[in-house]
Chain A
């Protein structure tokens, strides 16, 4: 079955880079996503990568995909206190019914200190 794993916590200083890692199991995943959840809010789509890509850059965000190792990472450059949140990795995976669903990791809580 599908499974997505992330470390639970990451603490960095303001101005440093943050790297949040994720491993997934379903090799048929086509899209992989990063969502951000601020306190008391829902999930906000940050970025995504298609499985035939190795890297995607979007301003301060860089997504790296190692398909062989089923490893996905999100790098945030020049991390700010406003980046403090929970970050979820998700893979798009097929269901037995032919539909597709998102499988989410447990989330990584990023704490940015001044």
Chain B
């Protein structure tokens, strides 16, 4: 079974702090993703990475950065946390989309509920 592990289930930080959210997957997947989940908005893609040291912006990258130094680990960084970044953060991984019609579903971690005070 694919295992995606997020380092913290709950995290409380203060406004202006630099915050790191860590995610590790054990299936040698090329793709890794960071989403935030807010009520009534579903999941929105922040950043994704298709290879080590590679990253692509998602739909809402402002205020965030990412790091992928090793294939199994993908970190989300809040450079200067703000209260509007209070949310549930979900990490996911998948195999590379090697053309159509291959199906490579995304596998999710349990999420990190982040509160910024």
> Chain A interface (Cβ within 8 Å of chain B)?
4, 8, 30-31, 33, 35, 40-45, 48, 50, 88, 95, 97, 99-102, 104-107
10 cross-chain pairs, A with B, having the tightest CB-CB distances, nearest first: A42-B108, A104-B43, A43-B108, A106-B42, A104-B42, A42-B110, A45-B105, A100-B97, A42-B111, A42-B109
With a cutoff of 8 Å between Cβ atoms, the chain A residues found around residue B41 in the complex are: 106
> Chain B interface (Cβ within 8 Å of chain A)?
4, 9, 35, 40-45, 48, 50, 56, 58, 90, 92, 97, 100-101, 103, 105-111
Which residue of chain A has its CB nearest to the CB of B107?
A45
With a cutoff of 8 Å between Cβ atoms, the chain A residues found around residue B109 in the complex are: 42
Instruction: Name the residue among B44, B90, B103, B107 with the largest chain A CB count within 10 angstroms.
Output: B103
Known: A42-B4, A43-B90, A101-B48. A30 touches B101 (CB 8 A): yes
Q: Which of A4, A31, A99, A107 contacts B50 (CB 8 A)?
A: A99
Q: Chain A interface secondary structure, helix, strand, loop or mixed?
A: strand
Q: Which of A4, A30, A40 contacts B100 (CB 8 A)?
A: A30
- Whether the pair A97, B56 counts as a contact (CB closer than 8 A) is yes
- Whether the pair B90, A42 counts as a contact (CB closer than 8 A) is yes
Which residue of chain B has its CB nearest to the CB of A47?
B105
- Whether the pair A107, B103 counts as a contact (CB closer than 8 A) is no
Q: Which of A4, A33, A35, A99 contacts B56 (CB 8 A)?
A: A99
With a cutoff of 8 Å between Cβ atoms, the chain A residues found around residue B106 in the complex are: 45, 102
Could you tell me the distance in whole angstroms from the C-beta of B36 to the nearest C-beta in chain A?
Answer: 11
Provide the bound-state CA to CA distance between A61 and B103, in Å.
19
Give 7 A-B pairs besides A42-B108, A42-B111, A102-B45 with Cβ atoms closer than 8 angstroms.
A31-B101, A42-B90, A48-B105, A50-B101, A95-B56, A105-B42, A106-B40
Provide the bound-state CA to CA distance between A40 and B90, in Å.
11
Provide the bound-state CA to CA distance between A107 and B37, in Å.
10
Q: Which of A42, A45, A48, A88 contacts B42 (CB 8 A)?
A: A88
Provide the bound-state CA to CA distance between A89 and B91, in Å.
17
- Whether the pair B110, A41 counts as a contact (CB closer than 8 A) is yes
8 A-B residue pairings within 8 Å (CB atoms): A33-B105, A42-B90, A42-B108, A44-B108, A50-B101, A95-B56, A99-B48, A101-B45
